[in-house]
C-alpha cells in the first residue's frame, strides 16, 4: 500500500471521526483550487477523507495497511534445525495460505461517480435535493447474465487468476483479471432474446437526500447499492462528489461567513448603517464612526449552523475611493484638513 491517508491529512491512526473531519476542513481550505491551491493535492486530500471518513472503508484500509500480505503463520516455521529456510517451501506455504484464506468474492456492479453542484443556501438550510441519474438495470429475462452461461474453466468462476512473480529468494502471488471471461467468472453460450446478451438496459433512477449543513466542497457521499446492477451479484454504489457554487454575497471561512461590502471613505469616517443580505432576509449592521481600514466587524452566531458548532458573520468593508473630485470637493476637504481631527 503506497498511500498513507493519515499522513496526507496530518493525523494519526487513532484520530476520531471529528478530528478527521476537522483536518480535512482545514486542508481543503488551504489547498482548494478556487483559493489558489494545487488541484492534485486537493484531490489527494479528498481521496484520503473519502476513505477515512467511512467506517467500513477505514477498517479495510487499516487492515491492509497493517497486514500487506495477509498471512498469519510464520513462513520460517517448517525448516529443519541447523539449516537455512528453503525459499521454495516458503513460497509454497505462502501460496497455499493465500489459496486457503482467499474466498470467492461476490460480484458487484459498477460504482457510479456523479458530481453535484449545490448552492450555499442549500447548505445553510440543509435543503432536500433530488438527483436523477442513469444506471444499468438487470434484464428480467436472464437476470442480468446475458443468457445461458457456463462457469469459466480458466478461473473456475472466481473471475481472477493467480500468478507468481519474483525470484528464488522472494516470490509474491498476484491476482489478475481472468482473460478468458474478462473477470465475469463465466462465459456466454447463448444470448438472451430480451437483451441480446447485454444483461440489462440503462434506466433513469432517482435518489433524494438532504444536503449536510457541514458540507465542504470536494466531499464524497456514497449511497450503497444505488449503482449498476449485475447478474448473480449485488448492485454497485453511487458516489456523489459535492461542489458548492460561489455565492454572490458571501465567502466561506470554516464555519464563518465573510461579507465584503463596498463602503465610501466618508461612511468609514462618520459611520453608516448597512443592510446585509442574508439568505432571503436582511440583517442590520452598523459601521461605527471612525472605523479603520482593515477592521473586521463580527455578527456573532450568524455564520453556518452545524452539528460542529455555529460560526459568525464577518463584515470586511472595502473602501471605495472617489476617482474624481470637483473644485468644491477639494475646497471642502482642504478646510477639513485644517481641523484638529484631521491633522497628523
Same domain, 234 and 119: yes
What average pLDDT score do residues 98-111 get? 64
* pLDDT of amino acid 80: 40
Q: Is the pLDDT of residue 65 over 80?
A: no
Quick one: how many helices (H) and strands (E) in the chain?
Answer: 8, 19
**Is 74 contained in some domain?**
no
- Residue 206: give its domain's CATH number: 2.60.260.20
Same domain, 211 and 278: no
**Is 81 contained in some domain?**
no
**Is 29 contained in some domain?**
no
More confidently predicted of 184 and 277: 277
* pLDDT of amino acid 170: 62
* pLDDT of amino acid 124: 94
Q: Give the highest mean pLDDT range of 78-87, 211-220, 242-251.
A: 242-251
Same domain, 182 and 260: no
More confidently predicted of 256 and 74: 256
Same domain, 133 and 202: yes
Gap between the Cα atoms of 276 and 72, Å rounded: 64
What average pLDDT score do residues 201-218 get? 90
Termini Cα distance of the chain: 66
Same domain, 215 and 337: no
Same domain, 321 and 268: yes
Q: Is the pLDDT of residue 118 over 70?
A: yes
What average pLDDT score do residues 102-125 get? 84
182: part of which helix (H) or strand (E)? none
More confidently predicted of 208 and 193: 208
> pLDDT of 143-189, one tens digit each?
878 778 888 888 888 888 887 776 655 667 788 888 888 777 788 77
Q: How confident is the model at residue 296 (pLDDT cuts 50, 70, 90)?
A: very high
What average pLDDT score do residues 276-282 get? 93
What average pLDDT score do residues 127-140 get? 91
* pLDDT of amino acid 160: 83
* pLDDT of amino acid 132: 94
Residue range(s) defining the domain that contains residue 228: 111-139+197-244
**Is 181 contained in some domain?**
yes
**Is 34 contained in some domain?**
no
Same domain, 158 and 278: no
Same domain, 229 and 213: yes
**Is 208 contained in some domain?**
yes
Same domain, 318 and 224: no
Same domain, 127 and 236: yes
Of 91-105, 126-140, 241-255, minimum mean pLDDT range: 91-105
- Whether pTM > 0.75 for this model: the answer is no
Q: Domain count of the chain?
A: 3
Q: Please, which residues have CB within 8 angstroms of residue 109's CB and are 6 or more apart in sequence?
A: 136, 227, 228, 229, 230, 233, 234, 235, 236
* pLDDT of amino acid 207: 92
Q: How confident is the model at residue 130 (pLDDT cuts 50, 70, 90)?
A: very high
Q: How confident is the model at residue 79 (pLDDT cuts 50, 70, 90)?
A: very low
Question: Measuring CA to CA, how many Å separate 130 from each of 7, 192, 228, 296, 339?
Answer: 36, 34, 19, 38, 63
More confidently predicted of 98 and 76: 98
**Is 335 contained in some domain?**
yes
* pLDDT of amino acid 334: 86
Same domain, 130 and 232: yes
Same domain, 153 and 123: no
Amino acid at each position: 500500500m503506497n498511500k498513507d491517508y493519515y499522513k496526507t491529512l496530518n493525523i494519526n491512526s487513532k484520530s476520531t471521526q471529528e478530528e478527521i473531519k476537522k483536518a480535512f476542513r482545514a486542508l481543503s481550505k488551504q489547498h482548494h483550487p478556487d483559493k489558489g491551491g494545487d488541484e492534485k493535492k486537493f484531490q489527494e486530500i479528498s481521496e484520503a477523507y473519502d476513505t477515512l471518513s467511512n467506517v467500513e472503508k477505514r477498517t479495510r484500509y487499516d487492515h491492509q495497511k497493517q497486514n500487506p500480505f495477509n498471512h498469519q503463520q510464520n513462513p520460517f516455521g517448517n525448516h529443519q534445525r541447523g539449516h537455512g529456510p528453503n525459499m521454495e517451501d516458503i513460497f509454497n506455504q505462502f501460496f497455499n495460505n493465500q489459496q486457503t484464506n482467499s474466498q470467492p468474492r461476490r460480484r458487484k456492479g459498477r460504482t457510479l461517480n456523479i458530481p453535484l453542484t449545490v448552492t450555499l443556501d442549500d447548505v445553510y438550510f440543509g435543503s432536500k435535493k433530488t438527483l436523477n441519474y442513469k444506471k444499468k438495470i438487470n434484464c428480467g429475462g436472464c437476470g442480468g447474465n446475458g443468457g445461458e452461461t457456463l462457469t469459466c474453466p480458466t478461473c473456475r468462476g472466481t473471475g481472477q487468476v493467480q500468478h507468481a512473480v519474483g525470484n528464488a529468494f522472494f516470490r509474491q502471488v498476484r491476482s489478475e483479471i481472468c482473460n478468458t471471461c474478462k473477470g465475469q467468472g463465466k462465459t456466454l453460450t447463448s444470448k438472451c432474446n430480451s437483451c441480446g446478451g447485454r444483461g440489462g438496459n440503462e434506466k433513469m433512477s432517482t435518489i433524494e437526500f438532504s444536503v449536510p449543513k457541514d458540507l465542504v466542497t470536494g466531499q464524497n457521499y456514497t449511497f450503497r447499492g444505488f449503482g449498476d446492477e449485475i447478474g448473480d451479484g449485488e448492485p454497485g454504489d453511487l458516489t456523489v462528489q459535492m461542489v458548492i457554487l460561489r455565492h454572490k454575497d458571501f465567502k466561506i471561512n470554516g464555519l464563518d461567513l465573510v461579507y465584503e461590502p463596498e463602503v465610501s471613505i466618508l461612511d468609514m469616517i462618520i459611520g453608516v448603517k448597512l443592510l446585509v443580505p442574508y439568505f432571503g432576509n436582511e440583517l442590520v449592521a452598523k459601521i461605527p464612526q471612525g472605523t479603520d481600514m482593515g477592521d473586521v466587524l463580527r455578527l456573532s452566531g450568524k455564520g453556518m449552523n452545524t452539528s460542529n458548532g455555529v460560526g459568525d458573520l464577518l463584515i470586511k468593508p472595502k473602501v471605495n475611493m472617489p476617482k474624481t473630485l470637483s473644485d468644491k470637493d477639494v475646497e471642502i476637504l482642504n478646510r477639513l484638513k485644517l481641523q484638529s481631527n484631521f491633522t497628523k
